[in-house]
Amino acid sequence: MAMQDDHIITPRRTRSGQTSQASFSRAEARGPVIDQEGREIPVDRTDPQFQGFHFEFGGTTFAPLNREQRLARLEALAKLLDVAFILPGTNIRYGIDGLIGLIPVVGDIITTAISLWLVREARALGAPWHVTARMLGNVAVDGVVGLVPLAGDAFDVMFRANVRNVRLLRRWLEKQPRI
């Protein structure tokens, strides 16, 4: 049974078949625009051409992250990828890397791409070539062995390349002098 949308396009008709004879315009029928605090918003501010439009998120600004905040974000992502969950009845930890890796080929490509983003962030934090080379080696081993069905997935759970990479980065950063 198809629904008719004629009332959306054409004027609404009364039960007797006649069109409504309202004495006000469509804009007046809608009434004023009210914000969440109950204040009326002037019409000029609801106009799509309003030039002063901007969002405020409770006074929060989105400033660039400092080094510690970026490292904390990398650690949180590495834990989510590698050790976020515990296999019930055992002490084996796994993350979404092991779960996504169960999807043949595509899952391993996705998790390798996320791991490569971690290496890119390490490079942006100033990690030298020898640290990033070791990190890339961990990602390569994880990605290549992860392509092997079932055994590669078990290896993904045990190898934990992302946690290793963040640990490498953290050790290098601790050796650097504070500025």
Q: Is the pLDDT of residue 13 over 90?
A: no
What mean pLDDT, rounded, does the chain reach?
Answer: 79
Of 6 and 70, more confident: 70
Instruction: Residue 147: name the closest of 92, 110, 94 by CA.
Output: 110
Report field, pTM of the whole predicted structure over 0.85: no
Q: Is the Cβ–Cβ distance between 74 and 122 less than 8 Å?
A: yes
- How many other C-beta atoms are found inside a 10 Å radius of the C-beta of residue 92? 14
The predicted-structure confidence for 44-76, as pLDDT tens digits, reads as follows 554 554 445 455 556 565 667 788 888 999 999
DSSP 8-state class, residue 78: H
**Higher local confidence (pLDDT), 119 or 177:** 119
The residue type found at 2 is A
Q: Where are the domains of the chain?
A: 67-175
Q: Contact, 59 vs 70, CB < 8 A?
A: no
- % pLDDT > 70, the chain: 66
Find out whether 76 and 107 touch, Cβ atoms under 8 Å. Answer: no
